[in-house]
Amino acid sequence: MDSSQELKHRTTTQTPQDQSTTTTSNAPSQKKKAMAKRGLRSLALALALPLSMTLANIYMFGRPGSVGQTFRNVSKPSWFPPLWLLHSMCVVFSLLMGLSAWLVWAEGGFHTKPRAAAMYLAQLGLSLAWDPVMFWMGASRVGLAVCLALLVSVFQCFRVFKNVNPIAGALVKPCLAWVGYLTAVNLKLVYL
């Protein structure tokens, strides 16, 4: 009977072995917190970098220069956006593409599909090139070529991103619509 009573008896003090088990059980939660912190930093970088580049681009080249008075001097149809709206949408475009690229990166898509990174960088470069070409230099035909290349690169981003992360692909859809509209505006400017 003594042995059965000892088996049922539970101690309330922790042994050194029990304490080590408690600290190791906190280790996964510590790792999760560290991963979450790194994820937030990478998200902030993925949004801030293209956003700051877009804002700097708009500040430096977004106003029509002495050569590029095309947008202001031409009588535009009613469906043309005002310059402030056009630049605001470029900022939104930059944020959406940065977020979708981050979602693809978080899934490991840039490592498994290097084409995704190349397409993202291509669309980023082309979107940054459009403002100086259109508004600073006033070259609407070259701007149209840049806009068409941007449309193709955003479409390729959509195709690659949706295979890696469906949410990232869904975030690219409004960007694709915006670049299509921007191409139509640019095409109309060529013929005015």
pLDDT digits (tens, 9 = 90+) for 81-108: 888 888 899 999 999 999 999 999 998 8
pLDDT digits (tens, 9 = 90+) for 121-140: 999 999 999 988 888 887 88
Q: Quote the distance between the C-alpha of residue 80 and its chain's center.
A: 26
Q: What is the pTM of this model?
A: 0.75
Please enumerate in sequence order all residues whose Cβ is within 8 A of that of 22, keeping only pairs 6 or more positions apart, or say none: 14
Structurally, at CATH architecture level, domain 41-191 sits in: Up-down Bundle (1.20)
